[in-house]
Amino acid sequence: MWWRVMWCRVSPRMYRRRSSTRCAHCCACRVRNRRGWVIIRSDRRITSATVNGLDDVRGVRMTGRYAGRGRLAGVAVVSAVLAIAGCGSDSGGPQPVGQSPAANPAPEVIDCSFNKPAVRPSKLILACADLGLRVEQIAWTSWGPDKAEGDGIQHLNTCEPNCAAGHFVTEPVRIVLTDLVEPGHVFTRATTIDADGEKLSRPMTKR
């Protein structure tokens, strides 16, 4: 909300004739209570009650023509600061109480304990013991607060006749991360879905 700081004064005769008046400059209203200068808001309707109450509202007390101008100048500085602070809002309305200016951080994922937490990693190891299941070349289509989805290439060890002698099957899969936990703000489960709809689900590392 814009504020304008004005040093305005009108004659007592004008004040008695009308409860409000417009300044010659179109930027703000101007009024004068019977004690001296006042500061008012440019978009505020001025009434006799407003004028009479300005001393109390603004915390300014005047007993003569120039008395208290130093204190009034301090009020002007505060009003100017409010004007600068209010310029940052595009909506022009009040901000919700408790609204954080910064967005919540994106969830992370940790595939193995020897790797660092990551956001939208290009590859994930789903079998940390023998590296027998991993998804590479991941292109994430979404990364939300409770689920992440993407497409990648899965490398799966068949472990036939055993994992040491097995061979890898490579195929495109859909990968989905779920089960966000706090504290830690990490996904703790990864599920891959192949072209036939077969699913493989593996737990992920927590913090």
Note if the pTM is more than 0.85: no
- Residue with the bigger pLDDT between 161 and 37: it is 161
Distances (CA, A) of 168 to 30, 33, 137: 82, 88, 16
Q: What is the mean pLDDT of residues 107-128?
A: 96
Q: Which residue type does 197 have? A: G
Which residues, at least 6 apart from 199, have a Cβ–Cβ distance to it below 8 Å? 191, 192, 193
Q: Which residue has the higher pLDDT, 207 or 153?
A: 153
Domain extent listing, the chain: 108-203
